Amino acid sequence: MKAPTTQNKPGTAIGLKLVAVFLFMVMAAMIKAATQNVPSGQAVFFRSFFALPIIMAWIWRAGEMREALTPNNLTGHIWRGLFGTSAMALTFAGLALLPLPEVTAIGYATPMFTVILAAIMLGEKVRLFRISAVALGLVGVMIVMWPRLSVDVATVGTAGTIGALMVLGASILRAVVQIHIRTLVKTEHTAAIVFYFSVTATVLSLFSLPFGWIVPTTTDIILLVSAGLIGGIAQILVTASYRFGAASMLAPFDYTSLIFAALIGYLIFAELPTTETVIGATLVILGGVIIIWRERQLGGGRSRARAVTDPKG
């Protein structure tokens, strides 16, 4: 199996990661705008299908076409695609219902659920230190979501409540993806994981066709196609960043997405983060950074798993 070349260039790695995170937020904003009219399953199709040419060009240029097209565990790729596509669809549905900063903050719950699932599914020992970090992060998530989970009968079941639960569900599914990829990277090349996810997501999204696909407006088509292209570029950049720097060093830069989300949300959608979002996100980020620091000590398959799991499934 051909292994990707790695170099120690922290400046390059951080630059690539920051650009990738920014582009993912731009993509999310485009999806948010388009899903006001277009069903989330249809948005998943555009996001996945139009990322494929970018990904294929990257694989071809890297000379990894054989590795990409010859998987050792096709069933594993299909399961990764099922979980990842479901997470993407739920996230896109949530984007249509919630402010961009709020979706971003709730999405930070993924590392917390990953630790929990690693203990359950992989038998990892989770000691008090990481348990405390997980508890801190989950408290933060609850603070962000609390205004959406009011017991007031006038608000329960509203679009905001449903959107928050969808994004939380997407976070859990992305944690499942992280656990699954820790096993997948033992036999599969990075190029194969990235390629087959885009293929399976494209195919699986077509199953949502009977549930309300529409003929998009010209504006929505531009937004959706651009989201796919930008998502493909961002995936390449984030994967490339891990060739120039350690995952433990780069992982905290995922949290800059909240800054980008707040700026884009304000400038494009006139959204401002609520006090609950800011306080909760701060606690989630703190818990996440502690988990990342601990994972740096544990090592294992986490670095490669993180390199092929983008923030949107």
Residues 269-312 pLDDT 10s: 999 899 999 999 999 999 988 888 877 766 555 555 666 665 55
Residue 116 is given by DSSP the state: H
Residue 250 confidence (pLDDT)? 82
Least-confidence region, from 52-56, 109-113, 118-122, 256-260 = 118-122
Contact 139, 282 (CB under 8 A): no
Residue 243 confidence (pLDDT)? 82
Residue 255 is given by DSSP the state: G
pLDDT band at residue 4 under the 50/70/90 scheme: very low
CA–CA gap between residue 137 and residue 189 (Å, rounded): 32
Residue 59 confidence (pLDDT)? 92
Residue 122 has pLDDT above 90, yes or no: no
Residue 127 confidence (pLDDT)? 81
CA–CA gap between residue 163 and residue 282 (Å, rounded): 21
The radius of gyration computed from the CA coordinates of the chain, to the nearest angstrom, equals 18
Residue 296 host element (H or E): helix 275-298
Contact 257, 103 (CB under 8 A): no
pTM over 0.95: no
Residue 242 confidence (pLDDT)? 82
Average pLDDT over all residues of the chain: 88
Max mean pLDDT range (7-16, 144-153, 213-222):
213-222
Least-confidence region, from 29-33, 182-186, 292-296 = 292-296
Residue 130 confidence (pLDDT)? 84
Contact 105, 281 (CB under 8 A): yes
Residue 29 confidence (pLDDT)? 97
Residue 3 has pLDDT above 60, yes or no: no
Residue 204 confidence (pLDDT)? 96
Residue 93 has pLDDT above 70, yes or no: yes
